[in-house]
Amino acid sequence: MSLKQTSVFLLLQLICYFRHGACGKVLVWPTEYSHWMNIKIILDELVHRGHEVTVLVSSASILIGHSNESSINFEIYSAPFSKYDLEYTFGKWVGEWTHDFQKQSFWTYYSKMQKVSREYSDIIQSFCKAVVWNKNLMKKLQGSKFDVILADAIGPCGELLAELLKTPLVYSLRFCAGYRCEKYSGGLPLPPSYVPVVLSELSDRMTFVERVKNMLQVLYFDFWFQTFSEKSWSQLYSDVLGRPTTLTEMMGKADIWLIRTFWDLQFPHPFLPNFEFVGGLHCKPAKPLPKEMEEFVQSSGEHGVVVFCLGSVVKNMTEEKANVVASALAQIPQKVLWRFDGKKPDTLGSNTRLYKWIPQNDLLAIKRMP
């Protein structure tokens, strides 16, 4: 593990500080799909070092708690809907968000993004209520005397649990839309004159017109766009705590922010000592490819290989769209490995192979023969 990667285990130091050097107890408020995959890397290392890890997981969870993880404790609470309802909803959102992306204007795209984000926020809030209003579960958590809470900042409630349990809070985060969380809760200075808004497609070398465009986007995210239903969350937190508060204020109490990228992949900007860049935590030593896949990759010649994957949320697509994608891939000179779980497209080219799962880490490390 590299020196940069080990910075994530400042978390361990925090735990041991409160336990005077002994192994500690960690409570986790996770989110689904790739967010869970990233945070689980940290949990595995915590368990390896002797810490006790408990993950709060809903009965509707899609990935969390479904593998045989005897080393991690999963505290299951009842969700107001089923796993299949949640999976369908996530799939629908991705379809809405990415449909005809290239044809959408900036404002149209972010309007759809905000709509999806608010619907997501409502679901996470229902999970949060299922935990904090469950007296038996909260009594059990309070009696467990956790040393730290590790939460994904993209799914609120971890900060409320930290306040109720009087426990230090550590966030895991890639970024919030418009850097709202980082700026207003984390206090991170991001001058718009040379720091482009995330997803804006601008660089840090902006013309005057591009600076104006960047400033308009800053104002849009600061005063209009809300990743979470701020008013709704603030009301919930105030009701639970019995005093006025806001989501922004509660998130601002986090002790450490673990940012899931490398500093040298970011545009230069000021940062604070409690922000740690921990990119690459999920990287592991490559393993040999399956024989058939190895032979296919090595037959690519001078053109090389394309790995095509739409992520963990999109498992399949309509036959019509699959045929359009397959037809496009058939026209390129590269060999293509396509992660696809559906009916084989009629237009699939001889240069393309379908796989239900692709070992992307192992493919990145493959050395092709000249």
0.75 surpassed by pTM: yes
Give 148's pLDDT tier (boundaries 50, 70, 90).
very high
pLDDT band at 263 (very low <50, low <70, confident <90, very high): confident
Question: Using 50, 70 and 90 to split pLDDT, how confident is the model at 3?
Answer: very low
> What is the rounded CA–CA span in Å between residue 226 and residue 209?
26
Residue 277, beta-bridge partner list: 259
Q: What pLDDT, in 10s, does the model give residues 344-362?
A: 999 999 999 999 888 887 8
Tell me, what's the pLDDT at 49? 86
pLDDT (0 to 100) of residue 256: 93
Tell me the percentage of the chain whose pLDDT exceeds 90.
38
Contacts of 334 (CB under 8 A, 6+ apart): 300, 303, 304, 305, 306, 351
Mean pLDDT for all residues in the chain: 83
Given a contact cutoff of 8 angstroms between Cβ atoms, the answer to whether 147 and 25 are in contact is yes
Mean pLDDT over residues 71-80, rounded? Answer: 88
- Chain-centre distance for alpha carbon 274: 20
Domains of the chain: 3-277 (3.40.50.2000), 291-364 (3.40.50.2000)
What's residue 20's pLDDT?
46
Q: What is the mean pLDDT of residues 188-216?
A: 90
Say if strands 305-308 and 352-355 run parallel, antiparallel, or are unpaired: unpaired
Taking the C-alpha atoms of residue 330 and residue 346, their distance in angstroms, rounded to an integer, is: 11
Q: Is the pLDDT of residue 225 over 80?
A: no
Mean pLDDT of 263-276: 87
CB 30 within 8 A of CB 161: no
- Rounded Cα distance between 286 and 229, Å, is 41
Distance CA(265)–CA(353), nearest Å, equals: 32
3-state secondary structure of 259: strand
Rg (CA), the chain: 22
Residue 1, pLDDT above cutoff 90:
no
**pLDDT, position 314:** 65
